Structure 1
Amino acid sequence: MRLVIARCSVDYVGRLTAHLPEATRLLIHKADGSLLVHSDGGSYKPLNWMSPPATFEVAELSEEQQLAGVVECWEVKHRKSGDTLRVNIFEFVSDSHHELGVDPGLTKDGVEAHLQELLAAQIERLGDGHTLVRREHMTAIGPVDILARDAEGAAVAVEIKRRGEIDGVEQLTRYLELMNRDPLLAPVQGVFAAQEIKPQARTLAEDRGIRCLVLDYDDMRGEESGELRLF
């Protein structure tokens, strides 16, 4: 991981366009190819970003950029969409590299772990004809919660959250990217399952072809116990 604090401007060019004027910001370039642009505020959410798979290159400066005081220009391009995040750097304040190693992944809380157990036992909630392959299917970057097959035998990867937010969609996207490289699994469909799914997360998931599934925890627990429920 490369952490850079720099005075920079940022432009996103593609399906959407966005511009961040010159200011001092934190730039995070990860080993997976992603680039995150942060300010000193706004909690965890970056001001702009490029998701993997992406290519990174230091572009040759134009005469106009040199006259404007740009000392380095980064271009991060998404390999599938062609969208580009262009960072014009005017001054490097700090630049460091760090090897973080393999992350063990997120340890789920009791509710998420139980949701996984319940959905594995009630796999038909994914749709008629679905069958369970295994829980905690391991990938190179961590385990996907559930691997299943649909009625036609196609692979289905399910990521389960108590509250579905954008980070969870990004996590499932990374899993799908890796799993779709496996000829024994591809093509792999994605299902983002949670008790509550935020509108922004649903929009992002649907834009990436990921199906959303809202889980009723109480109803699933009632089915597990065999209790009769009127409501």
Structure 2
Amino acid sequence: MRLVIARCSVDYAGRLSAHLPLATRLLMVKGDGSLLVHSDGGSYKPLNWMSPPCTLAESEPDEEQAAGGITQVWTVTHKKTADRLIVKIHEVLHDSAHELGIDPGLQKDGVEAHLQQLLAEQIERLGDGYTLIRREYMTAIGPVDILATDEAGASVAVELKRRGDIDGVEQLTRYLELMNRDPRLAPVRGVFAAQEIKPQARTLAEDRGIRCVVLDYDEMRGVDSGHARLF
């Protein structure tokens, strides 16, 4: 992984257009080829990014750019969509590379991991005609718990939590934003599934077009909880 802290501006050009004015930011170039642009805020959400497969080309500025204080130009091009992320660097404050090795992946707590396994085995709980594609579908910013298709064959990303709160909805929102840039998957709908979903999280999810599903863990693993339920 390469970490560069620089004063830079960033432009995304393609199906979407976005501009980040000149400021000091962290540029993260990962081993999978992705590039993420971070500020010193916003938790772990990047301001913009380009996911693989893509190529990074570093070039010298032209005369006009050099006159404006630009010292380097990074052009990241997506190999399939030709979308481009253009980073214009004015000053590099830090540049380092680190070999992280093979990551063992996220180790979830027992209940959450078991929920994922059970829902993968009982994917029909999401609706008739749903089909499991895979568990732990990897994106440039982390794994989506379950990738499935609905009865029409459309892609569905499922995020699982024991207790669903706003952070979980935000996490799924980031996955969906990234996955919907991939023409092989788009359009991708989201399902937020948990044993319990907080009202604020449900409101936010539904406002963003994300479907909420409450899971009965005991029922899914074939255990009678002993509580009377009204269906």
Q: Secondary structure at the match of 1:161?
A: strand
Q: Any gaps of 5 or more consecutive residues in structure 1? A: 181-188, 207-211
Distance in 2 of aligned mates of 1:53 and 1:201: 32
Deviation at 1:5, TM superposition (A): 0.9
Q: CA deviation at 1:78?
A: 2.1
Q: Which residue does the alignment assign to 1:222?
A: 219
Q: 1:107 to 1:157 in 2, by over 3 A?
A: farther
Deviation at 1:116, TM superposition (A): 1.8
Residue deviations 1:122-157 (CA, integer Å, cap 9, x gap): 332244356779x86898x998866889889x9x89
Q: In structure 2, how many angstroms separate the alpha carbons of the residues matched to 1:96 and 1:65? A: 25
Matched-pair contact (CA < 8 Å) for 2:120–2:135: no
CA distance 1:98–1:200, change in 2 (3 Å): farther
Between 84-93 and 72-81, the greater mean CA deviation after superposition: 72-81
Give per-residue Cα distances to partners, 1:160-218, cap 9 Å, x unaligned: 421444545649x78xx8xx8xxxxxxxx997552257857996xx9xxxxx6643123
Question: Does the Cα contact within 8 Å between 1:116 and 1:160 map onto a contact in 2?
Answer: no
Change (3 A) 1:49 1:201: farther
Q: Could you say which residue in structure 1 is the equivalent of 2:59?
A: 59
Residue 16 of structure 1 aligns to a residue in which SS?
coil
Amino acid at match of 2:59: A
The one-letter code of the counterpart of 1:194 is A
Q: 1:58 to 1:128 in 2, by over 3 A?
A: same
Return the alpha-carbon distance in structure 2 between the equivalents of residues 107 and 43 of structure 1. Answer: 21
Identity between Structure 1 and Structure 2 (%): 53
Who is 1:194 aligned against?
193
- In the alignment, residue 45 of structure 1 is paired with which amino acid? K
Whether contact under 8 Å (1:222, 1:229) holds in the other structure is no
Change in 2 beyond 3 A, CA 1:200/1:65: farther
What is the CA-CA distance between 1:64 and the residue it aligns to? 1.0
Equivalence for 1:107: 107
What amino acid sits opposite 2:6 in the alignment? A
1 CA distance for matches of 2:6 and 2:27? 8
The amino acid across from 1:217 in the alignment is L
- Spell out, residue by residue over 1:93-119, the C-alpha distance to the aligned partner (whole angstroms, 9 max, x if none): 110001111111111123322312432
Q: How does 1:119-198 map to 2 (within 5 A)?
A: 119-128=119-128, 160-162=159-161, 163=164, 164-165=168-169, 167=171, 170=175, 194-195=193-194
Task: Report the number of matched residues.
Answer: 209
Q: Is residue 18 from structure 1 mapped to residue 18 from structure 2 by the alignment?
A: yes
- Contact 1:115–1:160 (CA under 8 A) maintained in structure 2: no
- What TM-score results when the alignment is normalised by the length of structure 2? 0.68
Q: Please tell me the residue identity of whatever aligns with 1:25.
A: R
Cα RMSD for the two superposed structures: 4.1
The aligned residue for residue 48 of structure 2 is 48
* Deviation at residue 225 of structure 1 after TM alignment: 2.8
Letter in 2 for 1:161: L
- TM-score under structure 1 normalisation? 0.68
